[in-house]
Amino acid sequence: MNTKMGFRHKFAYSFFDFAAYKEFLVQGLGKAILYIFLVTLIFSTITNMNTINKFISETSDIQTTFTKTAPKFELKNGLFTIDSTEPIYYKSDGQTLIVDTTGKTNKSIVESYSDAIYIDSNELILKQNYKTVQVMKFSDIPEFNVTNKTIQKMLYLSKIIIPVILLILDPIISFILNLISVFLILGPISLSISSFMNVKLNYSKVCILSFYSMTMPLLLQALLDISGIFLPEFSIMFYLITLIYCGLAIRKLKNTDKSNLNIMN
């Protein structure tokens, strides 16, 4: 295969056409890194859009519920006040929120709860697994001013900031992790595989093969993320699938004409 391949051809051929891996080697390490960057960017964007849609939907539901049901409150000058003549109890997913500025309860009430948040006029207590993990005294933050409008604004801004962070940072982090995986793990193992199969490939060549071999596991990872399926063993499967593809590509190289490949360089 002596034709120049664009991204779409590389993407398609990386799944099933191991003869194309010879051309991948010819194009060099730089184009392999560019390829995996584009693949990572595309898959990260697709999975993040799914995550973002869920986040925006859930945040909008919280906004609606908060606007309709939350009593007026204010944290100002180190003192918390709320427009309620009775203690407020709210339970969700095993977590209990107790808010009382009337003095009808005290912080000892959280002792009977495994996971709870207790708020009175002077402090916030966070409890997890029957242990107090954090106490925040409002007098320590007298300059902090929070009202219903503050929370509403924070929820609104979160629907803008979180998606932007995901769309920018997640592809970059994923790309860096993919580079680390290839250069520190997949490359050395693939080099051992090529040596075992009596195919003389240098380190940069096996790294090129590893980048293109990652296409299938990256696709599977994206599909799992979109469907919401979590497999704790998938990281092992990820490396195994990549190494299988590398092995198949190396076997194909072994059986092809290497005259134009410059494998040793």
For 105-151, how does the pLDDT look when each residue is reduced to its tens digit (9 = 90+)?
988 888 888 899 999 999 999 999 888 889 999 999 989 899 999 99
pLDDT score recorded for residue 257:
54
- Domain assignment present for residue 72? The answer is no
Confidence (pLDDT) at 264:
46
Please report the pLDDT score of residue 90 as a whole number: 87
Task: Let me know whether 208 and 242 are in one domain.
Answer: yes
Residues 50 and 164 in one domain: yes
Residue 265 pLDDT > 60: no
**What's the average model confidence in pLDDT over 197-206?**
94
pTM of the model: 0.78
Give the pLDDT band (50/70/90) at residue 4.
low
Query: Averaged over 230-258, what is the pLDDT?
Result: 91
Sequential DSSP letters for 88-106 = EEEEETTEEEEE--SSSS-
249 and 169 share a domain?
yes
Tens of pLDDT, residues 63-82: 999 999 899 999 999 999 99
Confidence of residue 203 (pLDDT cuts 50, 70, 90): very high
End-to-end CA distance of the chain: 20
Establish if 197 belongs to a structural domain.
yes
Q: Rounded CA gap, 35 and 214, in Å?
A: 11
Give the residue numbers spanning the domain of 126. Answer: 78-141
The answer, yes or no, to whether residue 259 has pLDDT greater than 90, is no
Whether residues 105 and 218 fall in one domain:
no
In a domain, 200, yes or no: yes
**Helices (H), ranges, the chain:** 7-16, 20-27, 29-69, 148-180, 187-196, 203-213, 215-227, 234-254
Contact 210, 188 (CB under 8 A): no
Same domain, 48 and 87: no
The pair of structure tokens assigned to 195 is 């040596």
Give me the percent of the chain exceeding a pLDDT of 90. Answer: 78
On whether both 50 and 168 belong to a single domain, the answer is yes
| Count of alpha carbons within 13 angstroms of residue 198, beta-carbon side | 1
Q: Residue 2: is its pLDDT beyond 90? A: no
Contact criterion met (CB below 8 Å) for 71 and 82 = yes
Residue appearing with tokens 């693939």: 190
